[in-house]
Amino acid sequence: MQAQNDVHEVSVQQKDILAELQALRRSVRQLETQLPKTITRGCMTLVDATGCKHQIQMDHCTSYQQLNMMVSVLFQCNSKEARIQR
């Protein structure tokens, strides 16, 4: 009788583990759809009008809109150098 209870308990635990595994797989699939298809390595160098070089990751400039946003971020700081560049 005890052996049957043990087998039943193991079976229930296996079903729970399988359900958790399936939920985890669904979560991973959802994350995969949110990630970029490719990750570009490396940086590009943006040289501004004053000759300053700014390294920008290639992942942040895959389109003109992204590059434009990165350039605006570069000039948002309030340092003297940023004010001179503006």
pTM over the 0.85 mark: no
For 48, the 3-state DSSP assignment is coil
List of residues 6+ apart from 67 with CB closer than 8 A: 56, 60, 61
H/E stretch holding 57: strand 53-57
Per-residue pLDDT of the chain (86 residues; tens, 9 = 90+): 677 777 778 788 888 899 999 999 998 888 777 766 666 678 888 887 778 888 888 888 888 888 888 888 877 766 666 666 55
For 46, the 3-state DSSP assignment is strand
Domain boundaries of the chain, sorted by first residue:
1-35, 43-85
In this structure, which amino acid lies at residue 14?
A: Q
